[in-house]
């Protein structure tokens, strides 16, 4: 479980900038364009990687090029970064299949873009890693293997890599990524799972974890990126909001206070006959820069919750799901997020000047 070293406060402002991508009539987008990764190429171009959903919940990872004008950003579709072709992405059972919810991080020590996405195949959702040298062309490395080092294995989502090596809880210099191990019932019947999850202790619900892969092993053989040796809970759903589950959101970005990221968390309210209305919102988390299992700050309330019509009504109502982050200035970021599992929206987040830890604030006051 994560250690917490509290910041005295952490302030940010958020301004919605509207929808940037939505279905255009293509059959491969008929059920939504949502939950995108984003990245800057080596020459500074902005790329977006939307999840494009065809009928039957068949997902592909798209590729789109950004064009900025004044305070407006538009995207030109270029095709697909990934389409379901591998056994772990293909299935015949009802409910869908494919490549879902990508996140992209440039990792300088590997000199590669690293994409983590959810493959929805015959075994259920699994985290898969793909690599690129330019952000355009991608090669699958394969599914993450939690079993080799006896970590909990099974349904898993929300893989998101940190951009720099960190120190694991065991003291090993490692590459790290968020992930969210799932309860099997969540995959089969989300509504039936709600009362069962809420009855569990918070640390036994669906929690955001960080997995660690020893850096030396990856530098010796890139395929070792698929072999985490440690994993620890960092965001249990034990706060005043998001009590059902939490999950990784945007790739972490280095700021003065530590690793800054937006995560998502889910609340549920019963509506009728054992059915629940889910609400997906976003909050801020700040991790220690060297040891990210130390959480320095976590939002006491959502910073981005369903509010606009596009966020309240869609394929799945009441969803804000942050997955992409673009640095646009000093402590200023564009956040790209799925709105109601149907469209992609952008929000500008600006952080206040660097905060201080509670202990540091006391020392300064003295």
pLDDT band at 274; cut points 50, 70, 90:
confident
Distance of alpha carbon 287 from alpha carbon 292, whole angstroms: 5
Distance of alpha carbon 168 from alpha carbon 163, whole angstroms: 15
Token digits for 118?
A: 């959810």
Token digits for 50?
A: 């939307």
Say whether pLDDT at 232 is over 50: yes
Say whether pLDDT at 297 is over 80: yes
Residue pointed to by tokens 């030109």: 76
Tell me the pLDDT tens digit for each residue of 185-206: 665 566 778 888 888 999 999 9
Among the listed ranges 20-29, 212-221, 269-278, which one has the minimum average pLDDT value? 269-278
- Please give the angle made by the CA atoms of 178, 119 and 316, to the nearest 5 degrees: 85
Query: Between β-strands 166-167 and 156-161, what pairing exists: parallel, antiparallel or unpaired?
Result: unpaired
Give every CB contact of residue 3 below 8 A, 6+ residues apart in sequence.
Answer: 293, 294, 295
Show the DSSP H helices in the chain as ranges.
184-188, 190-199, 215-220, 309-312, 358-365
Question: In Å, how far from its chain's centre is CA 259?
Answer: 14
Token digits for 113?
A: 């873009």
What share of the chain in percent tops pLDDT 70?
A: 94
Alpha-carbon separation of residue 177 from 97, 127, 129 (angstroms):
23, 11, 11
Say whether pLDDT at 161 is over 70: yes
Tell me, what's the pLDDT at 190?
66
Reported CATH class of domain 3-365: mainly beta
Say whether pLDDT at 362 is over 50: no
- The residues spanned by each domain of the chain are 3-365
Residue pointed to by tokens 């293997």: 145
Distance of alpha carbon 148 from alpha carbon 226, whole angstroms: 10
Neighbours of 180 (CB within 10 A): 25
Contact 48, 336 (CB under 8 A): yes
Say whether pLDDT at 365 is over 60: no
Kindly tell me the burial class for residue 94, based on how many C-beta atoms sit within 10 Å of its own C-beta (0-12, 13-18, 19 or more).
exposed
**Per-residue pLDDT averaged across 228-244, rounded?**
96
- pTM of the shown model: 0.94
Tell me, what's the pLDDT at 187?
57
Contact 240, 300 (CB under 8 A): yes
Q: How many CA atoms lie within 13 A of 341 on its CB side?
A: 15
Token digits for 31?
A: 């059920």
Contact 160, 176 (CB under 8 A): no
Tell me the pLDDT tens digit for each residue of 69-87: 888 999 999 999 999 999 9
Distance of alpha carbon 65 from alpha carbon 44, whole angstroms: 11
Neighbours of 311 (CB within 10 A): 25
Contact 266, 208 (CB under 8 A): no
**Per-residue pLDDT averaged across 277-292, rounded?**
97
pLDDT band at 357; cut points 50, 70, 90:
low
- Helix H, strand E, coil C: the string for 6-34 is CECCCCEEEEEEEEEECCCCCHHHCCCEE
3-class SS of residue 352: coil
Which has the higher per-residue pLDDT, 188 or 273? 273
Give every CB contact of residue 162 below 8 A, 6+ residues apart in sequence.
Answer: 105, 175, 176, 177, 251, 252, 259, 292
Among the listed ranges 191-195, 323-327, 338-342, which one has the minimum average pLDDT value? 191-195
Contact 37, 324 (CB under 8 A): yes
Tell me the pLDDT tens digit for each residue of 12-63: 999 999 999 999 999 999 999 999 999 999 999 999 999 999 999 999 999 9
**Per-residue pLDDT averaged across 310-314, rounded?**
98
Tell me the pLDDT tens digit for each residue of 96-150: 999 999 999 999 999 999 999 999 999 999 999 999 999 999 999 999 999 999 9
Contact 10, 297 (CB under 8 A): yes
């Amino acid at each position: 479980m994560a250690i917490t070293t509290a910041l005295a406060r952490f302030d940010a402002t958020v301004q919605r900038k509207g929808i940037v991508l939505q279905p255009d009539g293509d059959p491969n987008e008929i059920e939504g364009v949502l939950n995108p990764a984003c990245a800057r190429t080596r020459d500074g171009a902005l790329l977006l990687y939307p999840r494009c959903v065809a009928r039957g919940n068949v997902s592909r990872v798209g590729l789109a090029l950004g064009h900025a004008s004044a305070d407006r950003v538009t995207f030109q579709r270029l095709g697909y970064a990934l389409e379901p072709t591998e056994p772990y992405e293909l299935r015949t059972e009802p409910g869908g299949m494919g490549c879902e919810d990508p996140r992209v991080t440039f990792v300088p020590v590997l000199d590669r873009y690293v994409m983590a996405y959810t493959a929805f195949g015959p075994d259920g959702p699994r985290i898969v890693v793909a690599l690129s040298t330019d952000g355009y062309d991608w090669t699958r490395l394969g599914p993450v293997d939690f079993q080799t080092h006896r970590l909990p294995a099974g349904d898993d989502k929300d893989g998101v890599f940190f951009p720099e090596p960190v120190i694991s809880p065991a003291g090993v210099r490692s590459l790290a990524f968020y992930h969210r191990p799932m309860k099997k019932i969540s995959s089969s019947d989300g509504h039936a799972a709600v009362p069962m999850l809420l009855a569990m202790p918070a640390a036994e619900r669906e929690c955001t974890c960080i997995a660690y892969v020893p850096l030396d092993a990856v530098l010796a053989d890139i395929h070792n990126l698929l072999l985490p040796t440690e994993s620890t809970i960092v965001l249990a759903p034990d706060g005043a909001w998001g009590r059902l589950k939490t999950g990784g959101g945007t790739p972490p970005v280095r700021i003065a206070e530590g690793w800054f990221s937006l995560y998502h968390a889910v609340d549920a309210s019963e509506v009728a006959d054992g059915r629940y209305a889910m609400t997906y919102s976003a909050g801020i988390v700040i991790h220690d820069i060297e040891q990210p299992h130390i959480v320095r700050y976590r939002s006491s309330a959502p910073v981005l919750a369903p509010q606009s019509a596009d966020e309240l009504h869609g394929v799945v109502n009441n969803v804000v799901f942050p997955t992409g982050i673009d640095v646009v200035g000093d402590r200023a970021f564009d956040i790209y997020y799925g709105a109601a599992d149907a469209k992609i929206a952008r929000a500008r987040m600006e952080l206040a000047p660097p905060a201080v830890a509670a202990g540091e604030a006391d020392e300064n006051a003295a």
